[in-house]
């Protein structure tokens, strides 16, 4: 399965708790942090929920 790199580009300060929990579930805790995940439907759904806070790097 394909992998995607996800980079946090905006802060989670003053964001709803569900978005903070989604970012933590993705493994993103600090600005400019990059994580690599398999492109499963679950991961893609989480990225869609916080698309304004992250950037997908191919």
Which domains does the chain show, CATH number per domain? 3-57 (3.30.1390.20)
What pLDDT score was predicted for residue 1? 83
Which helix (H) or strand (E) element contains residue 12? none
Beta bridge partners of 3: 38
Given a contact cutoff of 8 angstroms between Cβ atoms, the answer to whether 5 and 25 are in contact is no
Given a contact cutoff of 8 angstroms between Cβ atoms, the answer to whether 25 and 55 are in contact is no
Model confidence pLDDT, tens digit, residues 42-55: 999 999 999 999 99
pTM of the model: 0.93
Query: CA-CA distances (angstroms) from residue 33 to 5, 16, 18, 20, 27?
Result: 10, 20, 19, 15, 9
């Amino acid at each position: 399965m394909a992998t995607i790199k996800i980079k946090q580009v905006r802060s989670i300060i003053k964001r709803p708790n569900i978005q903070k929990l989604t970012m933590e579930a993705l493994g993103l805790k600090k600005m400019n942090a990059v994580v690599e995940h398999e492109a499963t439907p679950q991961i893609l759904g989480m990225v869609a929920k916080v698309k304004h806070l992250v950037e997908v790097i191919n």
